[in-house]
Structure 1
Amino acid sequence: MTDFPVAYVLLDHAHLPDEEALIQTLRTRYPDVQWSPGGVLRSHDADHPMFIRAGDHLMTILMMPAPIPYDQELWQRASWLWPEAFHAVGRHRAHLIVATMGTAESNKATKALNYTEKTQLTTAFAGAVVAASPDVAAVVWQGKVGRSPEMWLDQSLNAFAPYPDQPFALWIEIVPYLAGKTLGALTIGLSAFTGREIEFEVDGLDQRTVTSRVAQLSSNLIARGLDDWPKSGTVFEADFEIDHRVEMFYRNSRFNIGPVISFESFDDRSGRVRTFPIIPSTIARDHPLLVMLGKVGLFDPAKVQNLIRLRPDHYQSEVRLEGFDRALSQALSCMIATEGYAEADSNARRALANGDPASARAMLQPWADEVGKIQLALKVALTVCDAFLFVPAPLRSP
């Protein structure tokens, strides 16, 4: 999570807003907050920041006489809600950086703001800057979410509103995607509040329902926080919109956006899930440790301990990653590169030759247990996307 939120107000021309007009706008829009000049001697040079007090806290505006760096993906996402987004970013020539600056007093009793409180103040302040500036082209939140000035004027009025009315649509983007025939959506920007984004991929829903669900979950998560959220592995029962159970996991994103809260159909209603071996038959057949364990009945690649359920439409193909199997083989080889195993292997072979498989099994049991630990660790890693058996598929738009 980031320490403080930042809004970038994009302008057609480089200028700071008039301080008196801005303070009056703030007082009109948010009368419950005490707004006043920052108490810092201002230079008339536009390169110097403007400071405004919000109660015991200090807000700042810094004018940058240049456009923000162009981000194709940001404006592509913005254009889903705002078709004029590309035109707006193309015409801007300067931008304002709006952020909190900590407490305005040296008094240690002044309470430090948490991230949500900083977000509320920054949202209110940026909304007033938009209202007090005549040539705003767009507003970018945290460098990730681009919105129109009209949307900011309207929704930032609810900057201090409690759940469910907080203006989270200014802070996060909901990105739809397609996995096989299933419509999904993920968030961008939610992790600043919670440390995790959302990936929602539940079978049988249309895009409106998916987007609405992700919006509801995001708003609720911002209000409650992750500590008050259901635990990983929770299964939710069917409801009025979703006619089957849904499982929630904390995992890493296969789209490389970091940690996520993942929602997926618990039951494989659409035939999307297939079973794959963790240790493939080639390694099971050729590796001396597994061959020996197989002889005494301590390893079978077809047993459930060696199987993982995955969705092939999450991957580019079903060709196993060479690096995964190479690392697996190396881990198995390290287990037998000891004097202890050499002795156990020799004794087990002697026991088998003497018709005593039970003794051979007992001698090799510790290594079978270690193989089981590797299988379990890999099953967990593959489930939470700490590791991949196949190359993940890229994000695909509906």
Structure 2
Amino acid sequence: MTLPIAFVLLQEPAVPDLSALIEALRQRHPDLSWTAGTPGPNRPRSRFILCGKRIVILMPVEAPLAAPDEEMWVRAATAWPEAHETAALHRAHVIVSVMGDSEGKLEDAKIVTAVVGGLISITAQACGVVFCGRVARSSQIWLELSARAFAPYPDYPFMLWIDIVPFESSPQSVGALTYGLSRFTGREIEFQVPGLSGPTLLDRVAGLAGDMLERGDRIDDGDTSEASEPEQISMKHRISHLNGAPVLRVGSDPTPMDRG
């Protein structure tokens, strides 16, 4: 299983204050157990804390992220105008990851999200977050949304983990494709339902993405979605004609003209 990993971007190098971080996490998420990690057999060499039985590793790196993903930063800039500036000017980062007995990818992502939020709350140098190398967000939006890391479905902040990007499939039709969802479910969403566009389209895709996160990969080929009321739309396992990745296609298969 691929474990979630986050990169907290810093304007200047900084070493996390674990005592301050634990205090912040206890205030932000008081229902969970947060304690300092102690060295021992089968324990990481890097700095770490404990969330229950889960080990959360924090590894400061005195260098910017290597090989930035330009497409990721373009996606981020649609809602975060300073994204490219942050990508160009950050000078260090802290890697946040988990190890130990896992309750699943979703729960692991919630823990990483909570710890990143706590770290940002005590780190003045934090300027952005990259989640799993696929999704970039500002530190301010991460700080705000991560307070709901352990909220019940559908209120936990899964939009920190995925992007939804509209595309024009034809002059008369708009669709949307997710990025980052496949690490949880094995598939992205490719959504193209006539008559849906703008905020309504994005809301429907986000709702389906949240449902997929809860169900994991248990959406079968041919299941239906109420994404276009009152009609139920078929969901199909396909390979995307946009990026060649496995997708859950909602709506009609593209025509040869759509494929360009």
Answering whether residue 204 of structure 2 is matched by residue 213 of structure 1, we say yes
Answering whether residue 255 of structure 2 is matched by residue 311 of structure 1, we say yes
Off by >6 Å, runs of 4+ in structure 1 = none
Distance 2:174 2:115 in 1: 37
Deviation at 1:236? Answer: 5.1
Answering whether residue 74 of structure 2 is matched by residue 53 of structure 1, we say no
Where in structure 2 are there 5+ consecutive unaligned residues? Answer: none
Distance 1:310 1:90 in 2: 38
Distance 2:138 2:180 in 1: 17
Answering whether residue 79 of structure 2 is matched by residue 81 of structure 1, we say yes
Distance 2:125 2:53 in 1: 30
**Deviations 1:79-124 (CA, angstroms, capped at 9, x unpaired):** 1111111111222000110000215xxxxxxxx3311111111111
Residue of structure 2 in register with 1:251 after alignment: 238
TM-score of the aligned structures, taking structure 2 as reference length? 0.91
**Deviations 1:311-330 (CA, angstroms, capped at 9, x unpaired):** 133323xxxxxxxxxxxxxx
Residue of structure 2 in register with 1:184 after alignment: 175
Distance 1:68 1:53 in 2: 26
Distance 2:2 2:259 in 1: 35
Selected match of 1:260 from 234, 247, 252: 247
Distance 2:114 2:59 in 1: 16
Taking only the aligned residue pairs, the percentage that are identical comes to 40
Indicate the structure whose relative CO is greater, using CA pairs within 8 Å and at least 6 residues apart.
2
Which amino acid in structure 2 is aligned with residue 145 of structure 1?
Answer: V
1:312 match: secondary structure: coil
Residue of structure 2 in register with 1:66 after alignment: 63
User: Which has the greater radius of gyration?
Assistant: 1
- Higher share in helix: 1
Distance 1:224 1:247 in 2: 17
Residue of structure 1 in register with 2:147 after alignment: 157
CA contact (8 A) 2:241 2:259 kept: no
Q: What are the equivalent positions in structure 2 for 1:237-386 lying under 5 Å apart?
A: 242=229, 246-265=233-252, 311-316=255-260
Which amino acid in structure 2 is aligned with residue 24 of structure 1?
Answer: E
TM-score of the aligned structures, taking structure 1 as reference length? 0.61
Which amino acid in structure 2 is aligned with residue 97 of structure 1?
Answer: I
CA contact (8 A) 2:16 2:60 kept: no
Which amino acid in structure 1 is aligned with residue 216 of structure 2?
Answer: G
1:313 match: secondary structure: coil
Distance 2:25 2:223 in 1: 44
Distance 1:236 1:62 in 2: 42
